[in-house]
Amino acid sequence: MMRAQRLLAAMLVQLLAWCAQAGAGADPYLPQRLEMVRCQIEARGVSDPRVLAAMRRVPRHRFVPPRLARLAYRDYPLPIGQGQTISQPFMVAVMTEALRLGPKDKVLEVGTGSGYQAAVLAQVAGQVYSIEIIPQLQEQARARLARLGYGNIHLRTGDGYLGWPEAAPFQGIIVTCAPERIPAPLLEQLAPGGRMVIPVGPRRGVQELVLVEKDQRGNVHKRRLMPVRFVPLVR
């Protein structure tokens, strides 16, 4: 039995390697992306199969400046212009998994940035609403997501602190920039039974990644997940 299991595992590894090589012609970064998920994300505790599949599928190198494409699958943030960054892959996966999104759920993202987090969310949720306050980044993200064929992502330029009230309520809310306290409008727009993940803390220094859960009665429960460092939420 053990020998059969070892043989099966070896066959699976060979199959994955073959698939990576076959796909590398169309996407030369595919092997790096598979390695990123295996070593940086799955090995560090992210286990939701839909999140892992999304991280394997979304081409992060398409969301960074071309000169940084070779660094796209390293486990750290990268600059995307306008003083903003694309989050490290592990953090994107952790925050996405924390939302526990279903395929029909509606999710709000505050801080579109490059559009990478929105693209990952679009793989696991039904509809994604994403707000960016910097017009240049919003325009670039819109063009990029359109080229990649994402049809379930809705973008707008505006103050993310205020959320997207006409599209609320949301089963999930993810904030990719740090306010000093949780915005009241976002709490109001979170659906009963919904979850929000948000970095909270000072503009400069270490913040806390907080998971907010709203029960069916509308009561809000908060739990700290880990120390993080995000760019500040701009009003």
Q: Would you name the residues annotated as active-site residues? A: 87
Q: What is the CA radius of gyration of the chain?
A: 18
Is the separation of the CB atoms in 54 and 120 below 8 Å?
A: yes
CA nearest to 60, candidates 49, 44, 75: 75
CA nearest to 120, candidates 139, 101, 147, 133: 101
Is the separation of the CB atoms in 58 and 122 below 8 Å?
A: no
